[in-house]
Amino acid sequence: MPNPVRTALLALALGWAWPALGQTPDLPFTAADIEAAQYGGGALPGGRSALTAKVQLLLDRSGTSPGVIDGFKGGMSQSAILAFERRTGLPQDGIMDPHVWNLLQSFAVRPVTQSYTITAEDAAGLAASIPTDYAEKALMPAMAHTSIAERLGERFHMDEKFIQFLNPGIDLVPGATIQVMAPNPPLRGEVTRIIIDKDNRRVAGYNARGEMLVDYPATIGSSVTPSPQGAHNVRTVAINPNYTYNPDVNFRQEGNDRPLVIPPGPNGPVGTVWIGLTKPTYGIHGTPTPSQLFHNQSMGCVRLTNWDAEELAGMVRIGGTEVQFLDAGVSIADATGTAAPSTPPVAAIALPEDGTAAAATPDPAQPLALPDPLAAPQAQAAPVPEAAAPATDPAAPASDPLSPDPLSNALTDALPQGFVVPPLDPAQP
């Protein structure tokens, strides 16, 4: 039996991270360990584990995003399991079980990790750092990534520290071959309804048939600057937008009392995507800090990871996608009539004695409703760029969708005349 004191000393000597009391130590594991990981019953292990990393990747492929893939059992992963249970008709408790595991196996037809060789382009155009002061941000050429790890983290849906964890002793420089996760390219389909669950911090997209296509973790407003109420519509879509800071219209940062235009980039205030709503100055957008979605607060808007926001931007339709903000105490399950059943829709699943998952995959009460991955991407409409900070009066009634928006007007000359949103780059296999 291992000596816990000796194990702790060894962990400190090797520089292993040690999670909070009650969790398992953050022991090293490899991409091969993630591939070999099998579910043997019970909840996911505490701390960081190869099994949790595998489950996160499979959830990501299903369109039920866990946010960043980092191998840690945490709030965003639990909320993703809960959303996956909701979409498949399972009891909704957010806890891993044999039914969830077996249904996830339909997304495990190819390896969950892959090798990647870093290119010179991965190291190009990096910023030394991103200042917090908006006046200093406005002087920069772009809100670019600050490291190769950060850039690859967004490409492979990973926490940048997890890339380093899987590749100990490897310098992330052009020419180096590393192990990373293997997400699918962005899902395609047409989202006609977006439901925003403030209490559970999830954003779900549905097609015209009422089938859930995607579900993401989000930061949704704050107690000081709450998100809107009721139903609105998608008004604009801008890819890689700039951001206008206007202290007379939005929040005020100490020391900055004049309007400033922050250049585009993944580390900008709205990340790489702005989906503006018919509620002026509010929108759904990306974030420079994806791992903090369940910890940060927003200025009233809805923040997603940049890659989730990019995927959603390819599925919404200007004037054709309703965005519904649920009241406190109302969940997506309540709004869609998918309340949790008391028992699983199939008989109990017995796991083999060796701990590997059963081969048979049970049918859920309702079939999985995933978009056709072969469907042709829809053309992007030309954006009407606007800033993303909320109006000073969040309770003000929504204006006419076609009426002038002061923040849109502030950016009317930000892009060349006739600018058309470029198509999103497909994710690497």
Count of C-beta atoms within a 10 Å radius of residue 59: 24
Six token digits for residue 329: 């105490």
CA–CA distance, 121 with 116 (Å, rounded to integer): 13
User: Three-class SS of residue 338?
Assistant: coil
Half-sphere exposure for 272 (CA within 13 Å, toward CB): 22
292 secondary structure, DSSP code? G
Rg (CA), the chain: 22
Of 145, 157, 232, 301, catalytic: 301
Question: Could you say which of 99, 145, 232, 285 is catalytic?
Answer: 285
What whole-number distance in Å separates Cα of residue 301 and Cα of residue 2?
49
The DSSP output letter for 200 is T
Q: 261 has which bridge partners?
A: 244
Please name the residue ranges forming H helices in 74-193. 75-88, 98-104, 134-138, 148-155, 160-166
CB 78 within 8 A of CB 94: yes
User: What is the widest separation between alpha-carbon atoms in the chain?
Assistant: 71
Active site residue 301: yes
Catalytic residue list contains 232: no
Q: How many CA atoms lie within 13 A of 423 on its CB side?
A: 9
Residue 393 sits at the vertex; the CA angle it makes with 388 and 396, to the nearest 5 degrees, is 100
DSSP 298-319: -SSSEE--HHHHHHHHTT--TT
Q: DSSP letters of 237-286? A: EEES--EEE-TTTS---TT--S-EEEPPSTTSTTTTEEEEESSTT-EEE-
Tell me the C-alpha distance between 310 and 290, whole Å. Answer: 13
3-class DSSP state of 154: helix
Catalytic residues: 285, 301
